[in-house]
A and B are shown apart, each in its own frame.
Chain A
Amino acid sequence: MSKIRTRRRPGAAETVAPAPLPAGEVPVVELRDVSKVYAGGSVGLERVSMRIGRGEFVFLVGATGCGKSTCIRLLMKELEVSSGEILIAGKKLSEVDRKRVPYLRRNIGTVFQDYKLLPNRTVYDNVAYSLQVIGESREEIRRKVPDILRLVGLSTKLHNYPDELSGGEQQRVSIARAFVNHPPLLLADEPTGNLDPETSIGIMQLIYRINRTGTTVVVATHDKEMVDKMRRRVVELRDGRIVRDEQSGLYRPDESTTEFAIRLRGELGVGDEGNPN
């Protein structure tokens, strides 16, 4: 058994820790020893610390229930930390008072697995809403919304309602909405969770393009293929703890077919205890 557990592939063993931020730069996202315990006692995050610099593209990976979504929801102050401190662009979230939360969220674009579009509004109005919220003038809205919808490839569906669109199209609308006022930070919680691989690539392409404009992007996902192919910074969580933080990582450190087979059998309770890596 121990023979199999050791890594065989030479390339995969060389993991690179994320480069330290340049001195003096304020990280866009910083978690200091953050723990989140839900009412009822279940642990969402346990003593997590990390720093994400400007313009980074970070995958948060891990099994369901490992704390990915907790992390995203903490970042947008939908939940409060139990202990520790979260800083967004150097500002402590604990010091953002309830009434200022909307203003915080205007600087954070969010994309969700279930799209969270407003069902009573057309594609155009859904995107326009996030501009109306910040008090953008009508002319600006009329200029920006068609632009961003062209960018996500939906210029022909401006006046459709969300339930008339496919999943991929709905996710494009939600990305357009998240990005229309160019927030410095984009959070995506399982953006491809409900989509087929082909559509997922299109969505990830869009998110990548947004990242290229200088926006910091944090994507929580369990889309192994996507993570492996994009080779970006990967933060792996397990049971609320960070177990891995690599500069350009894989979803899971490489594993052979045999290793996988053993893990599969082990996890099904057949044969030996099969603890992966």
Chain B
Amino acid sequence: MSFGFFFKEAIRGLSRNSAPALAALLTVLLTALVLGVFIPIVQATTGTANEVRERVLVNVYVAEDATKAEREQLAAALERTANVKSVEYVPKEQGLKEARRKNPEAFGRGVDLLGANPLPDMYRVVPDDPDGVAAIVDRLAPANADGVREPSLAAIDEVRNKEEDTEKILSATGLVKILTGGLMALLVFASIALIANTLRLSIFARRREVEVMKLVGATNWFIRWPFVIEGVIVGLMGGVLAVMLLTIAKETFIDPLEDRFALLAAPETIDFPLLIVVLLIACVAVSAAGSAITLRRFLRV
């Protein structure tokens, strides 16, 4: 039989069982709404966490008496070190300028009193993966038996990564990431379970019908297709409604506030069109698969 027949069957099923179909549609709509709100929130949060993590740096101070050749050797060695994203050379003049800006009290008058720049030249190393920052430090300045770090190259005076700050940043952002990830997984699971349950109810109400169909010799897929198409229709309608509501909410509430809240303008939030597509596909897939799987129980006649 053709697709047209199954489609007509699906429409008949929906119109003759409008109450459970409506319940399923509402469930899809609500879960899609909740997901649509939460996905960007979760992403903005992890995005912000990642941004914070990018502040994890390793400062490699150059020894005062290092020769030019030694400095070049150091620069090359840094570039070659594993997990290094970029290396920036900060000569002492620039270092002083930056320090002045951050802490004018100490560096403004203090350096004037000193009469000379007390800061060494420095390489600022940005790691690829902030979690691997300790390894970089270990490589550049391995600890000896007494636990004292010894520079691996003559040009290195000291290697520092502001250990306290780094640890705080890493543990706090790590927790945020785990929490939001867990929340997301929970939400997705709850949505799927909710939709599957509602579909189960609507199919359960029609189990007699399925039984009769089997008795007159219908194959499983002959019975299943209309239910799957029903699931697709319900999922699509619920998804489209949810996306419409989300769009309205975005245009009226979020967009005007965007420039006022950093979180809303966070760079790594999912694209709105992409979000729409993901939500729609998820709605349709979950509803259709849910229908087909739930039906399996009643097909064993």
A133-B222, A135-B1 given as contacts; is B213 within 8 A of A106 (CB)?
no
A78-B301, A132-B1 given as contacts; is B212 within 8 A of A118 (CB)?
yes
**Is A12 positioned at the interface, with any CB of B under 8 Å from its CB?**
no
Q: How far is the CB of A277 from chain B (nearest CB, A)?
A: 37
Complexed CA–CA distance, A5 and B1 (Å)? 62
**Is A4 positioned at the interface, with any CB of B under 8 Å from its CB?**
no
Which B residues are in CB contact (< 8 Å) with A177?
216
Is the pair B217, A103 in contact by a Cβ cutoff of 8 Å?
yes
**Is B47 positioned at the interface, with any CB of A under 8 Å from its CB?**
no
A102-B218, A102-B219 given as contacts; is B213 within 8 A of A129 (CB)?
yes
**Is B89 positioned at the interface, with any CB of A under 8 Å from its CB?**
no
Is the pair B217, A120 in contact by a Cβ cutoff of 8 Å?
no
Complexed CA–CA distance, A106 and B218 (Å)? 8
**Is B12 positioned at the interface, with any CB of A under 8 Å from its CB?**
yes
Which B residues are in CB contact (< 8 Å) with A110?
215-216
In this complex, how many residues of chain A approach chain B with their Cβ under 8 Å: the count is 22
Q: How far is the CB of B93 from chain A (nearest CB, A)?
A: 82
Q: Give which listed residue, A78, A99, A104, A118, contacts B213 with CB less than 8 A.
A: A118
Which A residues are in CB contact (< 8 Å) with B217?
102-106, 130, 133-134
**Is B174 positioned at the interface, with any CB of A under 8 Å from its CB?**
no
Residue of A nearest to B16 (CB): A120
Q: How far is the CB of B266 from chain A (nearest CB, A)?
A: 51
Q: How far is the CB of B27 from chain A (nearest CB, A)?
A: 22
**A65-83 interface code vs B (CB 8 A; 1 in, 0 out):** 0000000000010100000
**B201-220 interface code vs A (CB 8 A; 1 in, 0 out):** 00000001101111111111
- Which size class do B's interface residues fall under? 20 to 34
Q: Give which listed residue, B13, B17, B211, B215, contacts A105 with CB less than 8 A.
A: B215
Is the pair B215, A132 in contact by a Cβ cutoff of 8 Å?
no
Q: How far is the CB of A197 from chain B (nearest CB, A)?
A: 27
Chain B binding surface SS class: helix
A132-B1, A134-B217 given as contacts; is B16 within 8 A of A117 (CB)?
no
Q: Give which listed residue, B209, B214, B301, contacts A119 with CB less than 8 A.
A: B209
Interface residues of B in 1-32 (CB under 8 A from A): 1, 5, 12-13, 16-17
**Is A212 positioned at the interface, with any CB of B under 8 Å from its CB?**
no
Q: How far is the CB of A177 from chain B (nearest CB, A)?
A: 7
Is the pair A130, B209 in contact by a Cβ cutoff of 8 Å?
no
**Is A116 positioned at the interface, with any CB of B under 8 Å from its CB?**
yes
Is the pair A76, B215 in contact by a Cβ cutoff of 8 Å?
yes
**B181-219 interface code vs A (CB 8 A; 1 in, 0 out):** 000000000000000000000000000110111111111
Complexed CA–CA distance, A250 and B256 (Å)? 89
Q: Give which listed residue, A99, A104, A120, A130, contacts B12 with CB less than 8 A.
A: A120
Residue of B nearest to A104 (CB): B217
Which A residues are in CB contact (< 8 Å) with B220?
99, 102
**A182-217 interface code vs B (CB 8 A; 1 in, 0 out):** 000000000000000000000000000000000000
**A104-137 interface code vs B (CB 8 A; 1 in, 0 out):** 1110001000001111110000000110111100
Which A residues are in CB contact (< 8 Å) with B222?
102, 133
Residue of B nearest to A133 (CB): B218
Which A residues are in CB contact (< 8 Å) with B219?
99, 102, 133
Residue of A nearest to B5 (CB): A132
Complexed CA–CA distance, A129 and B16 (Å)? 16
Q: How far is the CB of A27 from chain B (nearest CB, A)?
A: 22
Can you identify 9 A-B contacts, CB atoms within 8 angstroms?
A110-B216, A116-B212, A116-B215, A117-B212, A120-B13, A130-B216, A134-B217, A135-B1, A177-B216
